Structure formats: C-alpha cells, structure tokens
Amino acid sequence: MFTGAVGPLGIGIATLWLSLIVLLPLAALAFHSVSDGLGTFVDAITAPAALATLRITVVVSLVVAAINAVMGTVIAWVLVRDEFPGKKFVNALIDLPFALPTIVASIVLLSLYGPQSPIGVQLNATEPGLVVALAFVTLPFVVRSVQPVLIEADREVEEAAASLGAGNFTIFRTVVLPVLAPAVLGGTGLAFARAIGEYGSIVLIGGNIPYKTQVASQYIQQQIEIDRPVNAAAVSVALLVIAFVVLFVLRLVANRGLRREEDDR
C-alpha cells in the first residue's frame, strides 16, 4: 500500500542535495569568516561602518516586513474575496517581482523617484527610497502565503458570526485573523529574509551612502572590492544569523498559533 513515505533513499537524496546546495556553502562561508581568528571576526562585525550598515539593513527590512504584513494581507483578501474587472491581470502582476531582474526595478524606481521625478517626489539616496524598493521585491511573499489559506477558509463560521450580530471588524479579529496569522507570519518572515539580503533593487535608488543608506549587501561588495574578503564573509554570517533567528522565532510563533487553533476545535 502506498503510504506517501519516500524511504531511506529519498531521505538520503534530499539530504545530499540540501548539503551540496545549502549546508556546504554556508559552512565554507562561516569557516572563511573566522579564518583569521575569532578576534578578527568580532572586529569585522563591530566596526562602526559594519554596525551602521547592519542597523540600517535590519531597521529598513523590519519596516518593509511590517508594511507587507498589512498590505499583503489586504491584497490577498481583495484577490480572494472580491470580484472586479482585471482581477486575473492583477493576480498575475503580483508575481512580477519574482520574474523581473531586480536591477530593472531599481532603474524604474530611480526614474520615478529620482532627481528628474515626473511626479515631483525625490526618494533616491534616502531610507524611504530603500523601503519603497524593498517593498516592491518582497510583496509577493505575504500575498502568496495568505491567498491559499483564505481560499480554504470556512466562510460558514464568518456567516454564523455575522448572523449573531458581530461586526466586520469583530469577525476579522476573532474569526479570520487567528486562521490567517500563521500564514501572515510565515510570509512576513520570508519578506524580511529577502529584504536583508537584497541588492539589485536598491543599488541605484539607495545611493550607497555610508552611515545613511548603505545596506549590508552593498557593504559586503565594498569590502570585496577593497580586498577584505574576511570582513565581507563576517558581515555575511551576521546577516545569515539575523535572518535565521527571525525566521525561527516566527516559525515557533506560527506553530504555536496552529496548535492553539487545533486545540480549540
């Protein structure tokens, strides 16, 4: 009888592929970052310029993730629950940042929000410009995480709550949001992880100004160009740790929410 299990061979193949594609490169990066000693690693990530770029990267990425958590959920709700002309076009448009080279996004954003802005809004070389660029490339993560959950959600519970006199906000807060929360958190975590490592979409509009708009990916490239690969590797490891911790915490919170929902049923 088919049980759906892949067996030892499938597990071995998956483990081997994961090791070759993910684990070995990460291990090589971590080893290279401490190749000159742990003291050099600490000095590299605590240098004023490195701390500044990490702060800018994390703060801007958190802002972008929070924006996408709200707007991505709203867009997913509209695409699932509402009907309007051009809905299929909009639904396809959501995936455009996945297919579009991010450097193209930076060129477009610079044309729209740069010194020659046709709408009179100049955001280049500013943190709001970074937020706009990163929001563009990370939007699909929340939308595509929330959409399937909304499609599968039991609307009879919402209708029952409405028949008992509950308002739209109360229904969303008490009935819909607990169901969506794990998906929203998962998509938000992915958006954050993508944002802290993004380079192409901010390379032009960001300005790469140290202590102001220089993000970690640009700092890493700068360190490589001036022949400091160990410093570049150290900051890269710091980014990996930050991303992993955020994703791990959000996954724990999401799993706890799922268990609580199952216990309530």
Residue-wise pLDDT tens digits, 172-208: 777 788 888 888 988 999 999 999 989 989 998 998 9
Residue spans of the domains in the chain: they are 36-262
At the topology level of CATH, where does 36-262 sit? MetI-like fold (1.10.3720)
Residue 79: Cβ-neighbour burial (10 angstroms; 0-12, 13-18, 19+):
buried
pLDDT of residue 216: 94
pLDDT score recorded for residue 3: 56
Alpha helical stretches, state H, the chain? 7-18, 24-33, 38-46, 48-81, 87-93, 96-99, 102-113, 127-152, 155-163, 168-171, 177-197, 216-225, 229-264
| pLDDT value at residue 145 | 92
Q: Which phi and psi (to 5°) does residue 234 adopt?
A: -65, -45
CB proximity list for 131: less than 8 A, separation 6 or greater: 60, 63, 64, 67
Instruction: Give the model's pLDDT for residue 119.
Output: 87
pLDDT digits (tens, 9 = 90+) for 99-125: 888 888 889 899 999 888 888 889 989
pTM above 0.85, yes or no: yes
Ranges under pLDDT 70 in the chain: 1-6, 257-258, 260-265
> Which residue in this structure is represented by tokens 């609307």?
155
